[in-house]
Amino acid sequence: MASNLGDESLLAEIVQLAVRAGHVVMDVYATDFSAATKADSSPVTEADERAEAIILAGLRRLVPDVPVIAEEECAAGRMPATGSTFFLVDPLDGTKEFLARNGEFTVNIALIEKSAPVMGVVYAPALGVLYAGGPAGAFKARVVGDALADVERIDVRSASPSLKAVGSRSHGSQETMAWLARFSDVSFVSAGSSLKFCLLAEGAADIYPRFGRTMEWDTAAGDAVLRAAGGLVTTCDGHPLTYNKREQADDAPFANPHFLAFGDRRLVETAIAPAASAATL
């Protein structure tokens, strides 16, 4: 089965799974919900748990032989063995945005093959916007009920001397602003959840530096959309961000290092150069 996972029919099924999970998320969003605190001090709500249950059941039906690493399952200590092909699921990325009721939270589903995200869906149900990426490229659409409308192909833009950076709304850091100071002309906008990757993918921003903690399920779907649109996510030394980092001597399973996301791949070499060199951009 794994050899057929790259076709667009699977992406269409994953899109529908994300939409169904989004409906459940919005059902909870409309109530006077509460949040619990997990062992890692992050919040979790009924929406996280119900959406993940829908996605896990759907993926088991579609591709029963492909393992799934999902955030809430991992929090409960359930991490199936993974080979070179598996799914990463964050049923509600941006739970803090969900709690703040600002709409900037997403449902994330990604397919990983040989340590790289090759397919992904990022759905922002409160905004009614969905992004997806796969072998044929990336697209953005509005979600109306269960259907997609106004589907349009998206691509990253070529970077100009005036760069636009995007960063976390809930996890900003002084380190981010200090790093961006290497560029001579850069503006900054905040956004929640995986929407930051999607802003790069649709050509609305150029760079997204992240120096806070993230897990693979936080980034995989947005990374897949961005790569499908022509962009790239790297470690701070310029190597592509990899997935399936299960055994890490210095960190938890599936934890990411700090990373840099780029729309225009030509920015990579300059962005990882010493600050004095990068400031000539």
**Binding-site residues for substrate, please?**
71, 92-95, 218
CB distance 125 to 143 below 8 Å: yes
The alpha carbon dihedral of 230, 236, 237, 243 has a sign of negative
CB distance 218 to 256 below 8 Å: yes
Nearest Cα to Cα of residue 263 among 187, 208, 195: 208
The length of the chain, given as a count of residues: 281
Beta-bridged to residue 78, according to DSSP, are none
Q: Binding site for Mg(2+): residue ranges?
A: 71, 90, 92-93, 218
CB distance 88 to 246 below 8 Å: no
Rounding to the nearest 10 degrees, give the CA dihedral for residues 75, 241, 104, 44. 10
Ramachandran angles phi, psi of 267, nearest 5°: -75, -20
Measured from the Cβ of residue 30, the count of other Cβ atoms closer than 10 Å reads 8
Q: Are strands 68-70 and 43-45 parallel, antiparallel or unpaired?
A: unpaired
Rounding to the nearest 10 degrees, give the CA dihedral for residues 141, 160, 227, 130. -20
Q: Binding site: residue ranges?
A: 71, 90, 92-95, 218
